[in-house]
Structures are given as C-alpha cells and as structure tokens.
Structure 1
Amino acid sequence: MSARGAEDFDDADGLGPWWALARDPMFELRLLATEQSDPDVEPPPMVRRSGQVLLAAARRLSVEDPPVAVTEAGLGAVFADAVDAVLDDEVTCPVIEERDAAELVGPLARAIVAAALAESVVREAPVDLDGASLDELVSAVSAALYDGRARGEFGAAAKKLAFNLAMRSGGSRYVDRKRRTWSTDAAPLAGDVLVYLTRGGGIKDFIAARVREIAGPVILLAHSLGGIAALELLVSQELPNVRQLVTVGSQGPLLYELDALPTLRFGLRLPNSVPEWSNIYDPRDLLAYRGAGVFPGRVRDYEIDNRTPFPWSHSAYFFRKNERFYRLLGEVLA
C-alpha cells in the first residue's frame, strides 16, 4: 500500500534540469564552469569576443522592456531583477566571457527564466508554466540575447547531474540569499494544513452549505488542501446530490496512511457516503498522492504529466495553456 506516485517516474524528456534550476537558477552555468573548453577564437584587435557581446546583450535586457513572451507569461515585473541576479553571480560572467556565445545562449536564457520564476515566488506572485511554455520563454530570451541564432539544448552532463548535484550542493548562493524569504512564504502553506487538521470544521461546513444550495447533481472538484477538505466532508456526512469527487494534486491518501485524517482513522474503510472518486496526480508533483492502492476499488487514479518540475508542477494542472490536463479532466467528468 502506498500513496506515493513517482516510483516509476521516467525523466526521458529531459525536464530534470529544470528541477535543478528551480533550486539554483545558475546550475547549468556552474556546471559549464567545471568543464574544460577550447577558448573562443582570438578576435582581431578592437573586436570583442562573442561571449563579451553576449554579456553586453544580457546587461541590456535588465534595462530594456522584457520580451513580449516574458510579459505575457506574467514575469515582466521580475525580469530585470532576474537578469541582474544571474549577471551578479560570481561564476556567471567569467563563464560567458571565456566561451563561445553560441554555446552559452541556451544555458544563460534558462538561468534568467529560472531566476525570474524564483523571484515571482519571493514576491508572492508565483507563475505556473508547463514545459512547452518554458520552452517558449527560453526561445524568446535567447532571441533577445543573440538574435535567435542559437538556443541550445540541455547538455548531457546537465541531464545526468541535475538531481545529484542540486541535492548534494544544497543550492546556490542565490538560493541561500532567498532561503529565509522562501521559508517565510512556505510557512502559510504548511500552516494552512495544520490549521485545517485542528480546526477544519468551518471549511467543511462552508462547502456543505454551498452544495445544499444546488438542486441538481454536484461534482466536487478540489485541488490540494481543498481535496482533503472535500474528502473529509463526504466521509463525515451524507450529501446525496454529490455524484462524484475529483481531487487534483491532493494529499488525502497520504494523510490517511499517516492516520492524520480526523474523520477517518487508518484501517477503516471509506463509507458509502463517499461517491465515485477520481484522483488526478502528476508524478513530478511531490504534493500529489495516489489513492487506488490505499482505498482499493474506491478510487481511480489518473496520471498526468504537466511537463514542469516541482514546485511549479503542483499548480500547473490549472495553467490556462495546459491542454493535456483539461483534456483529461473532460474525460474524467464525462
């Protein structure tokens, strides 16, 4: 019996480095700094190296209007600070200056995008993007950096070392500088769960009241903590017009295994008041858990790949461009 959903997770599509970049936006650039490289061809006198041209273009990004794709993604307000954070790093500038620009465009663009996403979390305005949207952003930033002449894919070394290096190093100085802010921002999320587990009656009563106001059949669709509240509501009382429970990225099965659900002790079966239960989870989402193995015959799990690393994957289900999720949701609700 296990609620975990990622035992057989395969990262063949290469999003693993984004997992590392979420924790250290300069991960890929640091990795390049450890590799041997042929120096850029010596340019004629008074002509800058291609890496110096790239660095100058990057510095212009922090004072010019962001690329349109960046603004449309909701990152315009943090873009300049993200560029500065990457360029102020003690490793970044030497790496760029010493290498051919074409080799650096992709890693530099990804570092800027990752830093912008991290800064959006710090400012309590997180932006959730799937893998395709991340690719679009990297392409837009690459074009702004180097006229779109090179975009670059994740190198083999980055794919191989992403998880190991990120976990071993514990993050970058950038992460260290932001650690206190991130911890403070994360506290309300953990606090919400703790408050609910101790005083969640009001939340369940609110949901029940809204359900009773509806004359026809009801489908309860709930994400994360909402899925816990919806499950507990249906365990604790009869709501005959609720014909389906749909949880997305939720922790209900885990809390049951931990014997932490106030309304259902571990070892007890789901009561008949819980209707058909469909549970959608992304293996990349570390806050999403399977239910079929925990409640045999009572839960149907649906796996979805939002193509974005954690922690963004926890909210990426409902990203407006996430066609995969909405197609799956349509099938579940049909």
Structure 2
Amino acid sequence: MVDAPGGQVGMRFIFVHGTGVRRERHEKLADLISTGLRARLPTAELVPVYWGDAHGAGLSAGGASIPGADRVRGAESGGTPLDEETAAWALLLADPLCELRVLAECAAGAEDELEVPGVRGAGGQVTDHLGELTSDLPPAGELAPLLRATGLAGSYPSAVEQVAASAEFADACDAVSDAAGVSELVSATARAVVAGALGGAGDEAWCTGDERDKLVDLVVAGLGGTGRFPGGRAAAVLGALALRLTTQPALDHWRTPLTTRAVPALGDILRYQARGRPLRDHLERVITSSPEPVVVIGHSLGGIALVDLYALAAIGQTATPRPHLLVTVGSQAPFLHELGALTGLPPTAGLPPGFPRWLNIYDRKDLLAYRAEPVFPGDSRVTDHEVSSRQPFPLSHSAYWKLDAVYHRIAEETEAST
C-alpha cells in the first residue's frame, strides 16, 4: 500500500500491455487506464511496464510468408453465426459501402417509375451536406471530442471523402425519391462514414458499440437527419446477409492487417512462447522493486506472462512476491493451458497453492479472450467476469479500456482483497 494525501491509503497497480503495442500507443493506453482506475479508486497509482521494443516481434521478410497478402476478403465457410448487429458491423468494417450499394438496388427496383428526367433526385440534399462534412471539424459540438476520444480523428476526414467520392453513394442518392428514402440514405451514409473511420484507424481505435452508435447519430445530424432510421430495406437485407456469414470472413478480412500492419498481435505471442524468459525476468524486476504488494493487470499476452510468472513463483522457481490481486483482460492464458502450452504450469495441472487471487475479464466477441473458471474448476481463487463492448473482432480486443464495467469490477476485487 502507498500513503496518499489526506491520510488515505492508495494501491499501486502494475499494468503489463499485450500484443501489438509499441511506444506511442503504450503511452496513450497507460493514460487511459490510469484515468479509468482513478475514477473508481482516486488514490490509485499506475506503474505501466513497457516491453514492446525489447521483447516484441517483427517480420524480417516483410510479410512474404502470408498467403493472399494482396487480397483482403476470403472465401465464405460454415460456422457459428454472429449476432445480427455485430455481424452487420463486421460487414461494414470489411466494406463500408455495402449498405449504400444495397440501398441503391432496393430503391431503384421500387421507384424507377417515379423518376423524372432532368429533375434532381431527393438525395441531392444529402450530397450537399456530405460535401460540407469534408471540411475541418468545427471546434464546438460533440463530434470532434468523441472522434479524438475513440482514436478516429485522423481517419475520419478521409472516410468522409471516400464515401462522398464513391459510385455507391452517388447511385443511392440518385435512387431515393421520397422522405423515407432520404432518411434511410442518411443513416446508411453515416454508418459508411463511421465504418470507414474505424477501418482506417485499425487497432488505434478504442471504441465501444455505444460510442460507435453515438458517432453515427452525430454524423446523421450533420447530414440533416434526426436519428438512425430503423427498419429500412437496406438494413434488413444487410442484417439477413450478415447472419449467413460466420466469424471466418471477418478473420479472413483481418488476416493481412493482423500479420503485417498489426504483426505483433500474432508475432509477439509466438516469440514469447519460444523465448519468454527475458520478458518474465523483466516483469519480475519491476514487481520486486515495489516496496509493497500490488495489483497486477495484464492485457492479452501481458496476462499470459503474469500467469506464468506467478505460477513459477508459487512452485518456488522465482522469488516474485505475491500480489493482492492478479487481473487478466482479454487473455489467452486459459486456452494455452488447455493446449498444454502454458510455460508456468504442466499440462492439466491445477494452480499451485501459492498462486494469487485471479480475476479474468473477457468479451465473448474478442477472439483472443478465454474463460479461466472452467479450466480450473472448483478453484475459488479464479473468477471470470464477462463484459461487452458490442464491437466485432478485432476492435473488441482493444475496447476493454473504454468500458466502465472493467474498472468497476477491478475496483470491487481490489477493495475486497485489501
């Protein structure tokens, strides 16, 4: 424990980042987590541990080993369908213009007979408003701060320009002819812009489903609308199509970014599995240097390294002091133990007697997050806690740190352990 102003007792939190994080992003992430912890625990002190440069991976051949690196979309295959909303956004992330394309087809098929040659279509006003959105963001209002808070400020302007210049948008504007059609066009255009901004930001986006929906609402307002348009023809077709897809098309779409632009998301894990001791030694030095017990938080690969470290300490192979609480977030440690690939524990072994209390936080839409309780049945030290960012993978893997539920549960478990 650390002494805090006013006689309060504070807690030191050590945070170990996960795969794909390098210096600039780590600094932003540490600020975000420190703010989230202090909102629940005002005297919390965060000690971030950066390891990306020294212990992270890179592609020595520039990604030449990746099959289909020049193709984003993969073939469809069978599997368990995503829920409709998440699946629809997975489609939009892969192809931000797909809903506009569907809308143009639906509207043209229903309203061809209403067109008057030489008369500007009802969608012309949306074209005008979208053109205005390509200019610099106004300093007043909610949009600019929300774009900055979600990491989309850099990708948003180009997303607007790409939608405005697309044939899909022009066709949809030409096809609509009444007020209902314009309302549906506004909603589809706003979703295309937000999806383009999310896709452009990639793993730099920290955005929950609620924030994403708020961004759509703000863009709708900028386009002259009054809210998202429920029950539209294009949205219904898109939802039905999305439910036919499985997680595999999304995985195929993200394969190249995960192994080139975001190579450490895979490479860091593989490097750790082959040469993990230097990272564990680094963590042990940082943790041992703390003058009092701490709460340790590990995201993704950071959680694997911490589970290994404390398992090895519990069986006497290291002298790492036991923390008040171990927290893993979006971690693969339970899955690796099922595979018999966790360094700190023999295959099928339970947690050793000296292992700390373990809170494991996961989002089922995060394909890199796994449950721990079923892997260690009957062990009262292990607690799973499910959260939901309402985002498809891979955005769900980064969105934890914008969720109040994550900090709330960490605070609850911290207070219970001290």
Query: TM-score band (shorter)?
Result: 0.7 to 0.9
Count of residue pairs brought into register by the alignment: 316
Shift of 1:166: 7.5
Shift of 1:311: 1.2
- 1:247 aligned residue (323, 328, 344): 328
Q: Which runs of 5+ in 2 are unaligned?
A: 1-78, 315-319
Partner of 2:240: 160
Distance 2:82 2:95 in 1: 22
Partner of 1:4: none
Shift of 1:181: 5.4
Partner of 2:220: 142
CA 1:133–1:54: 2 relative to 1, 3 Å: same
Distance 1:106 1:164 in 2: 23
Q: Which runs of 5+ in 1 are unaligned?
A: 1-6
CA 1:182–1:269: 2 relative to 1, 3 Å: closer
Partner of 1:195: 271
Q: Which string of whole-angstrom CA distances, capped at 9 and with x for unpartnered residues, describes residues 240-279 of structure 1?
A: 4323211110000111112222232322222223211111
Q: Which string of whole-angstrom CA distances, capped at 9 and with x for unpartnered residues, describes residues 141-177 of structure 1?
A: 11111x2335323633333322425768x58xxx98x
Distance 2:219 2:120 in 1: 22
- 2:200 aligned residue (114, 119, 137): 119
Distance 1:98 1:151 in 2: 19
CA 1:183–1:217: 2 relative to 1, 3 Å: closer
Q: Which string of whole-angstrom CA distances, capped at 9 and with x for unpartnered residues, describes residues 15-37 of structure 1?
A: 43223222222232233345365
CA 1:17–1:78: 2 relative to 1, 3 Å: same
User: Match for 1:138: what amino acid?
Assistant: V
Q: Find out whether 1:62 has 2:123 as its counterpart.
A: no
Partner of 2:124: 52
Distance 1:181 1:313 in 2: 15
Distance 2:160 2:237 in 1: 24
| Structure 1 vs Structure 2 CA RMSD | 3.1
CA 1:187–1:230: 2 relative to 1, 3 Å: same
Compare 53-62 and 251-260 and name the one that shifted more.
53-62
Distance 1:161 1:126 in 2: 28
CA 1:268–1:24: 2 relative to 1, 3 Å: same
CA 1:93–1:182: 2 relative to 1, 3 Å: farther
Contact 1:42–1:49 (Cα < 8 Å) also in 2: no
Partner of 1:79: 156
Q: Which string of whole-angstrom CA distances, capped at 9 and with x for unpartnered residues, describes residues 35-70 of structure 1?
A: 365328958897532212212322332244374343
CA 1:277–1:302: 2 relative to 1, 3 Å: same
Return the TM-score normalized by structure 1.
Answer: 0.83
Runs of 4+ in 1 over 6 A off after TM superposition: 7-10, 43-46
Q: Find out whether 1:96 has 2:173 as its counterpart.
A: yes
Contact 2:80–2:246 (Cα < 8 Å) also in 1: no
- 1:29 aligned residue (64, 78, 100): 100
Contact 1:246–1:279 (Cα < 8 Å) also in 2: yes
Partner of 1:326: 407
Distance 1:194 1:232 in 2: 15
- 2:383 aligned residue (284, 300, 304): 300
User: Match for 1:293: what amino acid?
Assistant: P
Distance 1:165 1:27 in 2: 14
Contact 1:193–1:225 (Cα < 8 Å) also in 2: yes
Shift of 1:293: 0.8
Contact 1:253–1:294 (Cα < 8 Å) also in 2: yes
Distance 2:321 2:129 in 1: 62
How much identity, in percent, do the aligned residues show? Answer: 36
Q: Which string of whole-angstrom CA distances, capped at 9 and with x for unpartnered residues, describes residues 314-334 of structure 1?
A: 111102xx2232222222323
- 2:284 aligned residue (179, 201, 208): 208
Q: Which string of whole-angstrom CA distances, capped at 9 and with x for unpartnered residues, describes residues 273-325 of structure 1?
A: 32111111111111100011111123211111122222111111102xx2232
Distance 1:32 1:165 in 2: 20
Distance 1:46 1:64 in 2: 33
- 1:130 aligned residue (204, 208, 212): 208
Q: Which string of whole-angstrom CA distances, capped at 9 and with x for unpartnered residues, describes residues 182-241 of structure 1?
A: 641132221111111111111111211122122322221111010000000011124343
Partner of 2:293: 217
CA 1:243–1:8: 2 relative to 1, 3 Å: farther
SS in 2 for 1:203: helix
Distance 1:65 1:95 in 2: 25
